[in-house]
């Protein structure tokens, strides 16, 4: 990758981690709303 591999894979990893955290937070929020209702 011409020396940019660390940057590319690092960015990919951070993005994947952010998406995973968002999905987990959304699931927790939905579960909390269902418990209240």
Domain ranges of the chain: 1-37
* pTM for this prediction: 0.71
Average pLDDT over residues 31-35: 91
CB neighbour burial string for 1-37, b if at least 16 within 10 angstroms, e if fewer: eeeeeeeeeeeeeeeeeeeeeeeeeeeeeeeeeeeee
Over residues 7-27, the pLDDT tens digits come to: 999 999 999 999 999 999 999
Higher-pLDDT residue of 35, 13: 13
Note whether 35 and 28 are within 8 A (CB). Answer: no
Higher pLDDT, 23 or 1: 23
């Amino acid at each position: 990758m011409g020396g940019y591999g660390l940057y590319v894979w690092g960015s990919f990893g951070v993005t994947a981690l952010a998406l995973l955290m968002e999905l987990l937070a959304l699931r927790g929020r939905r579960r909390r709303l269902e418990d209240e209702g």
